[in-house]
Structure 1
Amino acid sequence: MQLTAAHLKAIALGPTDMSNIHSIVDATNKYGSEFGMLVPHRLAHFIAQLGGESAGFRYDREIWGPTAAQRRYDVRTDLGNTPERDGDGKKNAGRGPIQVTGGYNIGEFFKWCNAKGFNPPNFVDNPDLINTDPWEGLSAIWYWETRNLNKWADQNDIETIRKRVNGGLNGYDLVLTYYTRAGLVLLGRNIGKTSKTFENAVRKFQEQAKADGTYKGEVDGDDGPKTRAALHTALVAIGKAKGTQAAPVVVDKPVNVPVEPKGVTKPGKDIWTLVVTFVAGTFATFANLALPMQIAIFAFFVVGLILIATGRWNLAKSAKEIKAAIEAAT
């Protein structure tokens, strides 16, 4: 399966950086097969975690405040930084789509690249080199492979993957959304950028999965656990197809939606039917008026109908004729 920039752009919830997207796509397509990642169900999990870590592929490095937590990086020996306040916390801040953080992880990534024969630059001395290609996208693949995350993707265990990527469940709800979006896009469905189009895409998938017998929940447009389980089943199925490719991103053409609900007949366009109906309603409304007034109103409408029928509806002339008719009636 080949990943495309169009897929990631469709999956993203907000603004993106296309250079970051291309880094992910290029490295994933070049190296992903070596590590068993280019099958749809694993790819959906990989994309979901990267989307959550990079704010929808918008950032390729940690935004430095520094926050209180970031100030503590400087003395966090558990991250491989020195115990002195010498600035290595900022130097070794998170980089890449999965935020490789700390001197230890950066060193491990460097050693892994060397062991694979990729001939990397010295990330240890200059971590900014992680944000060059192909190392930026490859850093996420290194993390995924060395944490054996394919195992948990095969089990559709998003929670465990999140804990192993983030150390906890920070951003978990966002990752769940990204998983559903990734799954639907890889299945070739249009999810749009609004909550309404996303909900409609989920509902359409639920309808199909229910018909296939792979979804047991309600068709409600809610991407809950049962929907994600059915997505996993569908992604595994297309992954087993020989020579499978990610479905192209589709864009729905605008469709004119009728104003009237189905089964409702539009009113007829017969002007005489409309006039008679109006007259009847008017007399019902003024039924309690005095008889002379009712006669005057009747005369007004009779003269008006005659003028319409004879094509003599001129405002100035008609006004005089209607006034004369009313005075004669009273």
Structure 2
Amino acid sequence: MPGTSLASRIDASVLRAIAPKLSAFKARRQAEIIASFAPLLPQLFEQFAVTTAVRIAHLLAQLGHESDGFSTTEEYASGAAYEGRADLGNTRKGDGVRFKGRGPIQLTGRDNYRNFTAWLRAFIPDCPDFEQQPHLVALFPWAAWAAFFFWATKGLNKLADRDDLVAVTKVVNGGRNGLADRAKYLAKAKQLVAVIVGDRIATEQDFVVLRRGHESDLVVELQRALAAAGHYLLTIDGNFGPGTEAAVKTFQRSRGLTVDGIVGRNTAKALEPFQSKD
């Protein structure tokens, strides 16, 4: 529907499209997690301003990797490796296992469970005490809230706005662990979100919108206009791939337009002076 927000369109079908195909056992768990998680996402995206294409794509990428393709909300390891980690607040015997990683972005350590409780009570005053009942962080809706607790309190929207996968990953995981896999999730998420954005713009503007994945003579005209506008190193092949998308974003940024890599009415109008008259 026209006017519907981007966040409201991120549903179970999007998560299923991002998620990899898994073995039968994992696939059952994946289906359960997606069915529980997806209905909660639109509200949480809106509440924590994860509402732009790049923010949504980065969060989906991290969720996909950290949850092993949406197939678990609990760390596979026992948590014993965290025993005695004072930096995580694990100062009592058994804290490592008790406060192992849980949630789609794994919450780890007694301090984080305590902080999550305090944070969430600002929104849901009667939520459980997760320090006392840590196993609940692996269950929905708390698992979803835990992911957004981490994302919001770590200021990851700002890093996502820079499209900086390395920086986001460092905050989530402490380094570059799984960076290649996260990059694959990010590319897939960006493509899916671009389709949603493009379809929405086309519906709202009653206009032929060009976006990544399109192949046509209109894309040829677009690529020629981009080359004329900024001498972008583009192959004129009629295929709206990542290179064309990057060129569109650069052009949009230089003209003060919304930088989404999608050629809607405003971007098309700005490109008109560079179009061939032949």
For 1:112, which of 115, 119, 136 is the aligned residue?
119
Cα distance in 1 for residues equivalent to 2:107 and 2:81: 17
Structure 2 counterparts to residues 102-141 of structure 1, below 5 A: 102-141=109-148
Structure 2 counterparts to residues 50-69 of structure 1, below 5 A: 50-64=63-77, 66=78
For 2:81, which of 72, 76, 79 is the aligned residue?
72
What is the aligned residue count? 221
User: Gaps (5+ residues) in structure 2?
Assistant: 1-5, 197-210, 253-257, 265-278
Cα distance in 2 for residues equivalent to 1:135 and 1:61: 13
Amino acid aligned to 2:148 = I
In the other structure, the counterpart of 2:90 is 81
In the other structure, the counterpart of 1:26 is 39
Partner of 1:237, secondary structure, is: coil
CA apart distance, 1:116: 2.5
Structure 1 pair 158–228 and aligned structure 2 pair: CA distance change class (3 A): farther
Contact kept? 1:180, 1:228, Cα under 8 Å:
no
Aligned-CA RMSD value: 3.4
Structure 1 pair 165–87 and aligned structure 2 pair: CA distance change class (3 A): same
CA apart distance, 1:203: 6.8
Verify: 1:168 aligned to 2:168, yes or no: no
In the other structure, the counterpart of 1:40 is 53
In the other structure, the counterpart of 2:260 is 237
User: Gaps (5+ residues) in structure 1?
Assistant: 190-200, 242-330
Structure 1 pair 125–204 and aligned structure 2 pair: CA distance change class (3 A): same
CA apart distance, 1:231: 9.1
CA apart distance, 1:104: 1.1
Amino acid aligned to 1:183 = K
Amino acid aligned to 1:237 = D
Contact kept? 1:60, 1:97, Cα under 8 Å:
yes
The share of aligned pairs that are identical, in percent, is 33
Partner of 1:59, secondary structure, is: coil
CA apart distance, 1:145: 0.6
Structure 2 counterparts to residues 1-330 of structure 1, below 5 A: 1=6, 2=8, 3-15=10-22, 16=27, 17-64=30-77, 66=78, 70-82=79-91, 84=92, 86-188=93-195, 208=219, 210=223, 213=226, 216=233, 229=246, 236-237=259-260
Which segment is superposed worse, 139-148 or 12-21? 12-21
CA deviations over 1:293-318 (Å, ceiling 9, x no partner): xxxxxxxxxxxxxxxxxxxxxxxxxx
Determine which structure has more spread, i.e. the larger CA radius of gyration: 1
Structure 1 pair 202–34 and aligned structure 2 pair: CA distance change class (3 A): closer
